[in-house]
């Protein structure tokens, strides 16, 4: 499969691989019009990484596309070994988790009082007040 018919945009990178989404730029568009490509990050990778891509491709007939991104082919991209997979147009989990964490932190900051502490939820405040009323004098929680 020729990756020159696609423009690749990085989605995720770690020390060994770069995950890219390839969108067709040729007219008429090749099949498939969108692919996911795992490109080895190093120009001179350890043989085990190349073998890992080869093994994943060897299992393509055993993978069910309802739950797996099936490999399509091995190719070269900018002098590096790459595994081309089906693309279902989803988002990488790491990106979704980063978005969730950022959103949670933003909401967390909004829920704090001016002194940086969190206000107690209404039910928790009532519970603490009842406990203080029931406690013997001089023995507060």
Classify residue 141: in a domain, yes or no. no
Classify residue 135: in a domain, yes or no. no
DSSP 6-20: EEEEEEEE-SSEEEE
Name the band, by pLDDT with cuts 50, 70 and 90, for residue 1. Answer: confident
Domain of residue 47, CATH code: 3.30.200.20
Classify residue 130: in a domain, yes or no. no
Give the helix ranges, DSSP H, for 2-120. Answer: 47-58, 93-110
Distances (CA, A) of 122 to 26, 112, 126, 129: 60, 14, 6, 11
pLDDT tens, position by position, 50-95: 999 999 999 999 998 888 889 999 999 999 999 999 998 777 677 6
Number of domains in the chain: 1
Classify residue 57: in a domain, yes or no. yes
């Amino acid at each position: 499969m020729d990756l020159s018919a696609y423009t690749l945009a990085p989605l995720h990178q770690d020390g060994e691989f770069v995950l890219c989404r390839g969108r067709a730029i040729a007219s008429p568009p090749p099949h498939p019009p969108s692919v996911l490509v795992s490109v080895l990050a190093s120009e001179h990778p350890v043989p085990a990484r190349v073998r890992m891509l080869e093994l994943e491709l060897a299992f393509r007939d055993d993978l069910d596309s309802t739950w797996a991104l099936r490999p399509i082919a091995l190719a070269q991209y900018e002098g590096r070994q790459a595994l081309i997979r089906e693309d279902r147009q989803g988002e990488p989990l790491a990106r979704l988790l980063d978005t969730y964490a950022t959103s949670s932190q933003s909401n967390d900051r909004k829920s704090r009082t001016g002194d940086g502490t969190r206000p107690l939820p209404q039910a928790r405040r009532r519970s603490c007040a009842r406990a203080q009323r029931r406690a013997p004098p001089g023995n507060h929680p």
